[in-house]
Structure 1
């Protein structure tokens, strides 16, 4: 778990280390010209150049599936191909699922966005922030100037950490070990509430355990176990038949192995590390990670978002709630945003990054203004593009996070020169 949290805090989007496929230059266009051969070639290249053992991509556009492709192996040692029914660790692509669960309860009037978190989780009533150091260099602490709100928790402005790091608050987080797999969500919350914040609530964007706090809120507000709530109110209604945190052992042969890239070579991560959150022996159900799913299941979730909260006659959220979640919620005064701006020209909504401007240069991720998305520590990615009536899911199991794969799959879908419609 510590390895996972450390990896998350280090996520960045790098300039591609390998060139994109050669293409005939085209004039920037607002309309997507989907080229399935271009997508297939890019997936094959990802495997051939050693950035992934196996990959798959699924594209839904204009109300229908327009392309699925897979290349390489889910288990290289067993020569098992990456396939449509391959199960993968989606890591932080769990976060939007948790956000949808919490916003269902918001629609029911269970809380207001600007309510203090402590109204529902009293352990968070008095949070500390650092106030310099004493003569011996030890940190001094003072109460935060305002309470954490639920809005802060939804947009990563609460000030929580996500593992060890350079500050005294980071060190306190590591010592408290709230994400220990043997903690349940209640114990996670008790430990986290004793950890000082990295910054005053509402002042900085720090990717954090905030979504695990959202999961704890779902438990408190619904009176249900978090995983059971998601099963009943999201997975079952959407017919996401194999998505789960805690998987039955008979599905184990279909789980993709995770490969660690070191010095240009991929080596298999020990299986116990890949499986530790999903099979017997783990107690913690994280809101921020842990779902294992096949690509078709996750596309059903993405299609629901694309369709304004409804799929096949089943409504999960109201259209206005989806728009709220997919709208940039960061005040312009919030300048500290860690690595977020390396991913996109835009900001952050509720558990989604949100594009508010066109790509600013040829090395930037292609996409259309209005898209919203998130990714995972093993480099999985999905995005919803309302301007083009399109959703894309990209599965891979490469660590550490490799942003070049995201840059390239987007170029393959959109074309290297795509800019999309102009923003405001």
Structure 2
């Protein structure tokens, strides 16, 4: 056998993943889950465990559909860069060029204790939006702006109406800080989804379908559960006693798998909001096709979405240092020490400082329901993990899965 140029996976050691997945089900941490591992474009491991619906006793299967939440962000970021690659804008352009409601911005003064303690601020740039340095926030973050967003329910939920209207509501609030001065996980990618609509002249759903999903053969990915999916859509569970997204008021309840959003009665089945930051539903094979396109430099099966040089640019660290060095106060889907941020996902700068086995340059992101994917271009790996438990900070499953897979790199 010729040397493939990377470490290959020991199938016996990969088999440990199945026991790990089952242990999460047995301890009532996750109702069910699936893992799909590919190396060099070839599937080397797949396993499912548990149930997609405890109440209806339905198994978590390969064709189970899940809410991928923030794993939508890499898709939207790719859409932005596809348009930038066509010369339709540059990344230093202020977002107000496309969304006038972001003109005449204000930012909270340092140490502000009230939403009206502000000073003038420039309109954030597209690059700042892509890298979460724009000064926006999320309702579940700590801070003055987050509280104001929570009061107005500015979370881009699937049933919250038109994207344009929600973007204008975000623009009416001050920024949490001067653009470029800090990193804070935010609705910035939702705002970029609206930019995609304005520039392309299509809804975000239509742009995704025409330019990304159809070329990649992603037939089961969209802002609503696909027609004819039947009961394959998983229910969402939480260990919290209250709202599964209310991290500022997070307290555990008696049931570690409390039903929060039931398949058959979910807003994701008839979404009106096209949330570029967290709105997509997908299957594990569909998302693998997206991840494989990234690993292969922008093309799959003869369909090129983006140039390899542009994709390399996206997967570089776009921050001055790691995320931790930029003073974040927010929730994030990844560790912050030893992790940089590219355009659409985190980039491993130092696995030791991140305290998780990995390769320098690993590109990854996850979603609030504990889903996760990463690319390891050193070892030619793509990994997709699906489950449905919110919040994703409940258990350290992502770092455990990375350790399991790195422990299998023996060849």
TM-score range, shorter chain: 0.7 to 0.9
Match of 1:15 in 2: none
The correspondence of residues 166-185 of structure 1 with structure 2, limited to 5 A, is 166-178=142-154, 179=156, 181-185=159-163
State the TM-score, normalizing by the size of structure 1: 0.84
From 402, 407, 417, the counterpart of 2:399: 407
Note the 1:7-406 alignment, pairs <5 A: 31=7, 33-34=9-10, 35-131=13-109, 139-144=116-121, 146-163=122-139, 166-178=142-154, 179=156, 181-248=159-226, 250-261=228-239, 262-263=253-254, 265-271=256-262, 275-276=266-267, 278-280=268-270, 282-332=271-321, 335-338=326-329, 339-340=331-332, 342=335, 345-360=338-353, 364-401=355-392, 402-406=394-398
- Matched position secondary structure for 1:129: strand
Tell me the CA shift for residue 126 of structure 1. Answer: 1.3
After TM superposition, give the deviation of residue 65 of structure 1 in Å: 0.9
- Deviant stretches of 4+, over 4 Å: none
Q: TM-score, normalising length from structure 2?
A: 0.87
Aligned pair count?
Answer: 383
Provide the C-alpha distance between the structure 1 equivalents of 2:109 and 2:353, rounded to a whole number of angstroms.
38
- In structure 2, do the counterparts of structure 1 residues 322 and 137 end up closer, same or farther at CA, with 3 Å as the change threshold? closer
**Which piece of structure 1 moves more, 163-172 or 301-310?**
163-172
More deviation, 300-309/345-354 = 345-354
Q: Which residue of 2 aligns with 1:27?
A: none
Aligned partners of 2:221 and 2:281 also within 8 Å: yes
Contact 1:75–1:256 under 8 Å retained in 2? yes
SS of residue paired to 2:136: coil
Shift of 1:253: 0.5
- Distance in 2, matches of 1:350 and 1:65, equals 27
Look up the SS of the partner of 2:117 in the other structure: strand
| 1:321 Cα deviation after fit | 1.3
Report the alpha carbon displacement of residue 88 of structure 1 after superposing the two structures with TM.
0.7
Shift of 1:81: 1.1
Q: Show CA shifts across 1:239-284 (max 9, x none).
A: 00111112245324001111212456322224179721x223x421
Moved more, 74-83 or 172-181: 172-181
76-85 vs 219-228, greater mean Cα deviation: 76-85
Going from structure 1 to structure 2, the CA distance change for 1:142 and 1:240 (only over 3 Å counts) comes to same
Cα 1:360/1:170, change in 2 over 3 Å: closer
Query: Closer, same or farther in 2 for the Cα pair 1:109/1:403, shift >3 Å?
Result: farther
The residue matched to 1:183 in structure 2 has which SS? coil
Paired with 1:93 and 1:138, the residues of 2 have a C-alpha distance of 30
Pair 177,254 (structure 1): closer, same or farther in 2 beyond 3 Å:
same
Pick which of 321-330 and 42-51 moved more: 42-51
Match of 2:215, SS?
coil
Q: Structure 1: state its 5+ residue gaps.
A: 1-29, 420-424
Mark the runs of 5 or more structure 2 residues left unpaired by the alignment: 1-5, 240-252
Indicate the RMSD between aligned Cα atoms, in angstroms: 2.5
Aligned counterparts of 1:233 and 1:312: Cα–Cα separation in 2: 15
The 1:359–1:119 alpha-carbon spacing in structure 2 relative to 1, beyond 3 Å, is: same
